[in-house]
Amino acid sequence: MIRIFFLLLITTESLAQVQLELADKVYDPFIKTVQLYPLGPKSNTQLLSAAIPLRGNQQLVLEFDELFNDAFTYQVKYVRCDANWQQSDLSNLEFLNEYNEFTINEYEYSFNTKTPYVHYRMVLPKPTLSGNYVLVVYADGDESDIILSKRFLVYESRVTFTDQYGFTGVNNASRFNQQLQFEVNYKGVGIQNPRDQVSVSILQNQRWDIAHTNLKPTFIREGDYKLEYRYFTEETMFPGSNEFRYFDLRSIRYFGENVKTAHIEEDQIFTWLEDDKRKSEFAYSTVLMDLNGQYVIDNVEGFNPIIENDYSKVEFTLISPKINGKVFIVGGLNDWDRSKDNSLTYNKELGAYKGSLILKQGWYNYQYLVESPSHTLNYFEGDWSATNNQYQIIVYYRPYDLTTDLIIGYLDLVPR
């Protein structure tokens, strides 16, 4: 109840009962820096996709902050989905060995920060069935008081990815587009009708907002147990986009790359980035610290970034004539969400679009995307086939004795 009282301080709209979306989404304005990634010894695990194998001991870890100075009780539950991210009709016992509600017991309070917050962390139980899942976090056991939802994958390696040359990869389809080719070898899986029972989804840089889904093979070679996905189908083609814009907010007192200045007040920090311009007007060039749209929470002072990194209101400026359409700041920092919270406002006097986000100290990638009847999505970024994008290929299979889809293959194609 205390939590509801403080929500009143933001807007009455925040109190409206939210509708769960089976997608990556934050419903509570106090919740920041939501990360879901595989737990393991690798460096920069924050950058890894939220995908783990069904076999073995690897688990996912969920982390997020709440901008408040006291901890609340939160629970997690799983929603089992089909290949199209629609909730399946499986019972909880068909994909879990335990009750489908887990309490987050691990949390820490921020230390010596201008913005007080509580950092929550949980190593998640692994489902017993491969497929698509959405974890839902809610408060005080009230499943209607949702604060966030996050997609993740559990996969089996029952198929292999090859072609006649033993290579699966990305082709430069034109100056502006990239296209994937691959073969799926399903020998031993026992698929009776691969055209009906198998579908493929392809993601660029872990992004579901531009994913190509429900793809069918170009050719089926049943005698060789192979499904071919070839270059000459537009279904596997993606605009190349451009290398991501970035800024280094690992320090507040010493300005990192693309940080113009910062101002520290008694209870808040403000940061202004260097002015951005339309990149599509310039030739393609590589970027050394491109994280494929993701971000890493870190600092250069040697503090514990989990609880000692501060939050800042970061100001973005995009120099451009006004266009016919909406402009958004997007990236892993806001789950590629093109909503009013991430939109920019045009300032006629400055001749620029302006916007701001509240972000934790770290290294960030971002882009400006456009929704317009007269401009492309990547109008400000441009599209280049040479861009180093990361792709994920997901192979779904629906057995005739099951009413949902399994994931029988997963491939992460890292940049060249």
236 in the same domain as 254: no
Confirm whether 380 is domain-assigned. no
Confidence at residue 4, expressed as pLDDT on a 0 to 100 scale: 42
Q: Is residue 265's pLDDT more than 60?
A: yes
53 in the same domain as 102: yes
365 in the same domain as 224: no
Confidence at residue 48, expressed as pLDDT on a 0 to 100 scale: 93
73 in the same domain as 125: yes
287 in the same domain as 393: no
Confidence at residue 286, expressed as pLDDT on a 0 to 100 scale: 83
Residue-number span of the structural domain to which 29 is assigned: 2-155
Share of the chain above pLDDT 90, in %: 81
266 in the same domain as 236: no
Confidence at residue 11, expressed as pLDDT on a 0 to 100 scale: 45
203 in the same domain as 97: no
Domain count, the chain: 3
Q: What is the pLDDT of residues 103-121, one digit of tens each?
A: 999 999 999 999 999 999 9
pLDDT band at 42 (very low <50, low <70, confident <90, very high): low
Confidence at residue 361, expressed as pLDDT on a 0 to 100 scale: 97
269 in the same domain as 236: no
Confirm whether 54 is domain-assigned. yes
9 in the same domain as 150: yes
Confirm whether 291 is domain-assigned. yes
SS (H, E, C) the chain: CHHHHHHCCCCHHHHCCCCCCCCCEECCCCEEEEEEEECCCCCCHHHCCCEEECCCCCCEEEEEEECCCCCCCEEEEEEEECCCCCECCCCHHHCCCCCCCEECCEEEECCCCCCCCEEEEEECCCCCCCEEEEEEEEECCCCCCEEEEEEEEEECCCCEEECCCCCCEEEECCCCEEEEEEEEECCCCCCCCHHHHEEEEEEECCEEEEEEEEECCCEEEHHHCEEEECCCCHHHEEECCCCCEEEECCCCCCCCCCEEEEEECCCCEEEEECCECCHHHCCCCCCCCCCCCCEEECCCCCCCHHHHCCEEEEEEEEECCCCCCEEEEECHHHCCCCCHHHECEEECCCCEEEEEEEEECEEEEEEEEEECCCCCCCCCCCCCCCCCCCEEEEEEECCCCCCCCEEEEEEEECCC
